[in-house]
A and B are shown apart, each in its own frame.
Chain A
Amino acid sequence: MANEVCLRTLDHDQPWSLEAYRAVGGYEVLKRVLQEKTAPDDIIAEVKKSNLRGRGGAGFPTGVKWGFINRSAPGDRYLVCNSDEGEPGTFKDRDILRYNPHQLIEGMIIAAYTIGAARGYNYIRGEFQEPYERFEAALEEARKEGFLGEDILGSGFDFQLHAHLGAGAYICGEETALLESIEGKKGQPRFKPPFPALFGLYGRPTIINNTESLASIPVILEKGGDWFKDLGVENSGGTKVFSISGNINNPGVFEIPMGTPFKDLLQMAGGMKDGRPIKAVIPGGSSAPVIPGAQMMELTMDYDAIQQAGSMLGSGAVIVLDDTNCMVRVLERMSYFYYEESCGQCTPCREGTGWLYRIVHRIEQGKGRQEDLELLDDITGKIAGRTICALGDAAAGPVQGMLKHFRDEFQYHIDRKRCLVSAGG
């Protein structure tokens, strides 16, 4: 039951090739849609039926998002794919680009057809040189086959698709900062509303979807929204590509149905390294609050279950930590990331992320003060929900999670000026 959707070419030789993609039925959906001139509303209805939720982390229903576009309004529209996969722990879109780029391309062409976009961009993370090259090569193949360009397959539908390599800023994964970056400006999020569906790239209506979301489209339309939905569980349709890393034997990418128990995923990843006990799991990328290991072993991997446990499924980046990890040190590293990656535009994030990092760093260095933990609680509350984009929430989440579940370790650092874990506690 693995690798049925986005990674369905994995068993083939050179899975990224057009040949391999054709072998699994690639581009057939596109041909059908263009031949039959399927009504865009029908496509949207099918995607809504599939219960596909945005795989970039926010989990917004893809079909609903597409429905926001007013196709009868005059002027250009754009389709943008967000492959700026920068969340620490996340490397699922990288493998879709590496191993099944054509499916993303087919998904984007169908999405563009649905929303009436004649031009699309795939914004790829700056460090993804190899995936970028694979994607460019696939684009070239698709152009040669007439899947891209003018009058695609004689249907009268035009669509030009370009890859755009980022330059390494995490914030450009935020969809409006990404648009600014494509426009050649400093990558800084825009305030919303207006949302991109109304005012997006170059001020035009724009749909932005995650790589995995768009790559799921051809399979959803091939096998039906119901089929996809039934792969998963209530509120979490389909499969999900998880990237699992940390203190495990076999870190990697696994496409499994939504609702799969975490312990099964851990087993696929080879179990805990050296058989050590599981201490904690960050279930959805570094911005998802941490969940204690024991609790995690009882959870299933779907939106609702993880949310009920006080965290989020996010991008499906699962970071597994064993008992050798000092949680103060873990948080220090994560807080440093958000401090470095805050764009600096709005006050709470610009000033608050640095403050958070400096306090956690101080605690880790054995210079913590008694009031620090309450201060951290208070600062995170003043960042979360107060910023232009979600980076503020992302920076606050890990701190809040760590203090909720591992407060004693922080308190120990403050009281004893040394680490509980290395002290053998």
Chain B
Amino acid sequence: MTEESTITIEVDGRALKAAPGAMLIDVCDAAGIHIPRFCYHRKLSLSANCRMCLVEVEKVPRPLPACVTPVNDGMKVTTNSPMAVEAQKGAMEFLLINHPLDCPICDQGGECELQDVALGYGSDASRYAEAKRVVADPDIGPLVATDLTRCIHCTRCVRFGAEIAGIRELGATGRGDHMTIGTYVEHAMGSELAGNVIDLCPVGALTSKPFRFQARAWEMVQRDGIAAHDGVGSNVHYHLRRDQILRVHPKDNEAVNECWLSDRDRFSYQALSAADRLLKPLVKQGGEWRETDWQSALEAAAQGLAQARGDDGNQLGGLLSPSASLEELYLAKKLMRGLGSANLDHRLRQADFRGDPPKVPWLGGPIAELEEQDLVVIIGANPRKDQPLLGHRIRKAAMKGAEVVYFNPLKLDLNYRAAQWVANPRDWVLEVANLAKAAGVRKGVVNKIKVADHHKELFKRLKAADKALVLVGDLAMGHPDYGLLRCLAAQVAEAAGARLGFLTPGANGVGAALLGVTPGEGGLDAQAMLAEPRKGYLLLGIDPGFDLENPAQGLNALMKAECVVALSSFRSPDLETVADVILPLAAAPESAGTFFNIEGTQQGFNGAAPPAGEARPGWKILRVLGNLMNLGGFDFNTPLQVRDEALGMLGDAAPDNGFEPDPALELTLPEAELLRIGELPIYSVDPMVRRAPALQATADAQDAAYLRLNPEDAKRLGFTAGDRITVSQPQARKAVFEARPDPAVPQGAVALCTAIPGSQALAGRFGEVTLEKA
């Protein structure tokens, strides 16, 4: 706002500077002058329907709604004059006449905007003596509870669906006081951001289904944290009563999550009290699991690892969760290096490690800048479900007119207009290669293919675009030709002058890369250390049946090992099969730590809740393990000391997508009748998310359980919806899934997710599969 462009208005006798045309309510908010409101929300379109923000404007005979009144130079406004207050009280009375006033049994009680405003503008008795409206409550899914009799029709939830979530799930039907909010035909909300309507609803009409009836707002304390399930690193408030996290709310951070939170980050806290939460250290003795004390368990772990190592550190391997904190990763790396092992990795779902890796892969720019792109090419990802708030930013760009083009092995259900170039998992690589050829790449696999006009046109637009971005995501990383895909993508971006970005895994993928939680000199990567089994393994925060690219190979290697030490927050059948010691690990909300989010922002957090049972923060466990194994430099007393040492080691290291593309990489995925597409479902990404019952009850989670294939293939194979299908992959056990024909899957492909129940038996995320009726 430059000096010339500002105007001056007067509000309640105070002179305020404002931008011409700004809405009065925003100018007043900025100046700390409170005007009551319900329908207004700074992130949603204006609707002016609640009439609560009526104020008096000089020379206007009737009160005007501050939310839609643009300011003019010299305007004189009174927010508390008799006319304004009478109008505000009038609106309040109308809002209350049909409201049930059931505050004592309403979950919103104590944190209700209607209650708060009624305190100031309501009357002590109602003049309404007629029958009140009663509305039936539809079931809109496992996340959001409805009590629509309480609805004040502000339509924030409706506008949220249309404008932010990108699906019009809730709408207002009916006229007059028959108007109700609903889904028209009753169905569950399918948005991955649905939970935000709980925050938006100013009353108790939409509340949290998992949380409701558990606690009053004033019984809980609020502690800050960082969400631990994707690279966004959403800022959150944990709400606790008696040290138990009962719910999670977003904490405003415009640069990261704005005021939103994905459902995954909002409801995953349920897992903290999961039935299979590991509360005590476990040691396997003679094939039997026994609970024990920390001292014995740590000694058993140290001894086991030392024995497996013998005098060859290379016999040990470390598989670390990309969602572990900087402190945990740093100490785990220090431990492994101290034991002489260079076999360390956090890229657990990556299939191909050929070629020079990017130095420190990251988004390639600030999260907020995603929404300013003019053209985004997305290779092997579904940001909407992979990292919902990144998907939201990309959608914002699309809504502003950006072109978004997807290269994927299957068609996605998107909430904005975008081009989707879909080909089966092998041809998909060739599609990307075509684009690379159009970009002028002349070596390697591109020689064998013919570039089409639409590739040339896309490249031309990519080159011409002011702000262009090429994003490479999880589905590409899980492909056996990821090295090639990455190389092609980088060459396209380079030739077009576009920015290159990686949708890195976990909450701390960037932190792990910065720390170098990757193979050291001569070390083995996540694939190699399982393909060439080691004698001892350290697992941090993972469930090997679910969190590895090739669970069959992984479980096999771990089974053969002499000693597997796992730090885990949960018990699991796979873990209990392969491990020898399981040490109960505090979950992210229970431990202090640091994440580097996908844009490279360092975000520290404290433990919000005490660890469940005897669980301990990872840094403490690793510290003691280091000391027990007589490795020097493990004398830490606080997580801050660990952080400082880790940051000191990082020095000036910064995220950097640079690498040397290797044009000689060949396409290795063989042609086959049916190739698997192993998507990582939104609610399967980590052990916590997989244990949140509300999330598992959503359509997104339930739909992920099916084996999906093109209806033509289904017809050819004689499969119909609901058939039980036995899936075989080379070097894997068989598993049975229910078939669902789906035209989103191209012919010659089978969409069968990774990290879902049953998928532990299977091998890699891509590759040949054979199907037969069970």
A169 engages B91 (CB within 8 Å): no
Check B87 for interface membership: any CB of A closer than 8 A: yes
* Distance of A63 Cα from B178 Cα, bound (Å): 40
Flag if A348 contacts B51 (CB, 8 Å).
Answer: yes
Given contacts A355-B130, A358-B130, contact A388 B49 (CB under 8 A): yes
Determine the distance from Cα of A409 to Cα of B129 in the docked complex, in whole angstroms.
22
- The distance in angstroms between the C-alpha atoms of A351 and B179, with both chains bound, is 10
**Which residues in A have their C-beta under 8 angstroms from that of B128?**
355
The answer to whether A347 and B153 have CB atoms under 8 Å apart is yes
B220-239 near A? 1/0 per residue, CB < 8 Å? 00000000000000000000
5 contacts between A and B (CB under 8 A): A186-B172, A191-B65, A341-B175, A350-B176, A375-B127
Instruction: Let me know if B170 is at the binding interface, CB within 8 A.
Output: no
Contact call A344/B175, Cβ cutoff below 8 A: yes
A352 touches B68 (CB 8 A): no
Proximity string of chain B (166-188) to chain A, C-beta cutoff 8 Å, 1 when within and 0 when not: 00000110111111000000000
Of A109-117, A149-157, A231-239, A379-387, the one touching chain B: A379-387
Whether A344 lies near B177 (C-beta < 8 A) is yes
Q: State how many angstroms separate the Cβ of B575 from the closest Cβ of chain A.
A: 53
Q: Scan residues 314-354 of chain A and give those whose CB is less than 8 A from a CB of chain B.
A: 339-354
Say yes or no: A339 contacts B176, CB within 8 Å.
yes
Interface size class of B (residues with CB under 8 A): 35 or more
Residues from chain B with Cβ under 8 Å of A354 in the complex: 98, 176-177
Nearest to B89 among chain A residues (CB) is A382
Judged by a CB distance under 8 angstroms, whether B498 is at the interface is no
Extra contacts besides A347-B94, A347-B95, A358-B131 (8): CB < 8 Å:
A341-B175, A344-B174, A344-B175, A348-B90, A355-B94, A359-B130, A385-B63, A387-B51
Alpha-carbon separation in the docked complex, A369 to B127 (Å): 12
The interface residues of chain A lying within 8 Å CB-to-CB of B500 are: none
Contact partner of A351 among B52, B68, B87, B177, CB < 8 A? B177
Q: Is the CB of B90 within 8 A of A386?
A: yes
CB distance from B64 to the nearest CB of A (A): 10
One of A193, A340, A346, A382 near B90 (C-beta < 8 A): A382
Interface string of A370-392 (1 = CB under 8 A from B): 00000100000010011110000
Identify the closest chain B residue to A192 (Cβ).
B68
Cα A175 to Cα B65 in complex, Å, equals 20
- Report the minimal beta-carbon distance from B493 to chain A, rounded to whole angstroms: 36
Q: Are A346 and B48 in contact (CB under 8 A)?
A: yes
* Complex CA–CA separation, A339 to B129 (angstroms): 17
B144 at the interface (CB under 8 A from A): no
In the complex, A207 Cα to B63 Cα: how many Å?
A: 27
Bound Cα distance A342, B93 (Å): 18
Q: Does B50 contact A (CB under 8 A)?
A: yes
Q: Is the CB of A191 within 8 A of B175?
A: no
Is A98 an interface residue when CB atoms closer than 8 A count as contact?
no
Residues of A within 8 A of B179 (CB): 343-345, 350
Whether the Cβ atoms of A348 and B48 lie closer than 8 Å is: no
Choose one: B46, B87, B152, B176; the contact of A386 (CB below 8 Å): B87
Residues 93-130 of chain B, each 1 if its beta carbon lies under 8 Å from chain A, else 0:
11101100000000000000000000000000001111
Task: Find chain A residues with CB under 8 A from B773 CB.
Answer: none
Q: 0/1 per residue, A159-186, Cβ < 8 Å to B?
A: 0000000000101000000000000001
Q: A351-B98, A354-B177, A355-B130 are in contact. Are A344 and B91 (CB under 8 A)?
A: no
**Chain B residues within 8 Å of A71, by CB:** none
Q: How far is the CA of A369 from the CA of B128 in the complex (A)?
A: 12
Q: Which residue of B lies closest to A338 (CB)?
A: B176
Q: In whole Å, how far is A48's beta carbon from the nearest beta carbon of chain B?
A: 26
Chain A CB within 8 A of B57 CB: no
Residue A65 is within 8 A (CB to CB) of chain B in the complex: no
A418, CB-defined interface residue at 8 Å: no
What is the size, in residues, of chain A's interface with B at 8 Å between Cβ atoms?
32
Contact status B175-A342, CB under 8 Å: yes
- Is A49 an interface residue when CB atoms closer than 8 A count as contact? no
Kindly state whether residue B682 has any CB partner on chain A within 8 Å.
no
Closest-CB distance, A396 to chain B (whole angstroms): 12
**CB <8 Å contact, B48 and A191:** yes
For the A-B complex, the count of residue pairs with Cβ-Cβ distances under 8 Å equals 96
B761 within 8 A of A: no
Q: Which residues of A contact B370 (CB under 8 A)?
A: none
**Chain B residues with CB below 8 A from A369, complex form:** 129
In angstroms, Cα B90 to Cα A385, docked, is 12
Contacts of B47 on A, CB cut-off 8 Å? 191, 345
Distance, CA A352 to CA B128, complexed state (A): 10
Complex: A385 Cα to B51 Cα, angstroms: 11
How far, in Å, is A275 (CB) from chain B's closest CB? 40
Looking across the interface, which residue of chain A has its beta carbon closest to that of B69? A193
Tell whether, in the assembled complex, residue B90 and residue A344 are in contact, meaning their CB atoms are under 8 Å apart. Answer: no
Q: Which of A171, A344, A375 contacts B153 (CB 8 A)?
A: A344
* Cβ contact within 8 Å between A169 and B65: no
Chain A residue contacts of B70, Cβ below 8 A: 193
A362 at the interface (CB under 8 A from B): yes
Complex CA distance for A169 and B174, rounded to whole angstroms? 11
Closest to B180 in A: A344
Cα distance A359–B130 in the bound complex, in angstroms:
8
B326 at the interface (CB under 8 A from A): no
List A contacts of B87 (CB < 8 A).
382, 386
- Residues on B with C-beta less than 8 A from A352 are 94
Most chain B beta-carbon neighbours within 10 Å: one of A191, A339, A347: A347
Cα distance A349–B50 in the bound complex, in angstroms = 10
Closest 3 pairs between A and B when the two form their complex, measured CB to CB: A344-B179, A382-B90, A351-B94
- Closest CB-CB distance, B70 to chain A, in whole Å? 8
Chain B window 122-144, contacts with chain A (Cβ cutoff 8 Å), 1 for yes, 0 for no: 00000111110000000000000
Report yes or no: B176 in contact with A344, Cβ–Cβ below 8 A.
yes
Contact A341 B51 (CB under 8 A): no
- Is the pair B62, A191 in contact by a Cβ cutoff of 8 Å? no
Closest Cβ neighbor of B46 among chain A residues: A191
On whether the beta carbons of B48 and A388 are closer than 8 Å, the reply is: yes
CB distance from A315 to the nearest CB of B (A): 21
Question: Could you tell me the distance between the alpha carbons of A193 and B49 in the complex, rounded to whole angstroms?
Answer: 14
With A and B bound together, what is the CA distance between A410 and B175 in angstroms?
29
Q: Is B588 an interface residue (CB 8 A)?
A: no
Q: A348-B90, A348-B91 are in contact. Are A343 and B175 (CB under 8 A)?
A: yes
Chain B neighbourhood of A351, CB < 8 A: 94-95, 97-98, 177
Q: How far is A343 from B47 in the complex, measured between Cα atoms in Å?
A: 14
A190 → B minimal CB distance (Å): 9
With CB as the reference atom, state the residue of chain B lying closest to A384. B62
Digit string of B28-70 for contact with A (CB within 8 Å is 1, else 0)?
A: 0000000000000000001111111010000001110100101
Listed residue (B90, B91, B172, B175) with the most chain A CB atoms within 10 angstroms of its CB: B175
Set A193, A341, A362: member contacting B176, Cβ < 8 A: A341
Question: B-facing mask of A214-240, CB < 8 A → 1, else 0?
Answer: 000000000000000000000000000
Chain A nearest CB from B349 CB (Å) reads 44
A171 to B176, CA, bound (A): 10
Known: A386-B51, A388-B48. A347 touches B91 (CB 8 A): yes
Give complex CA distance A311, B63 in Å. Answer: 23
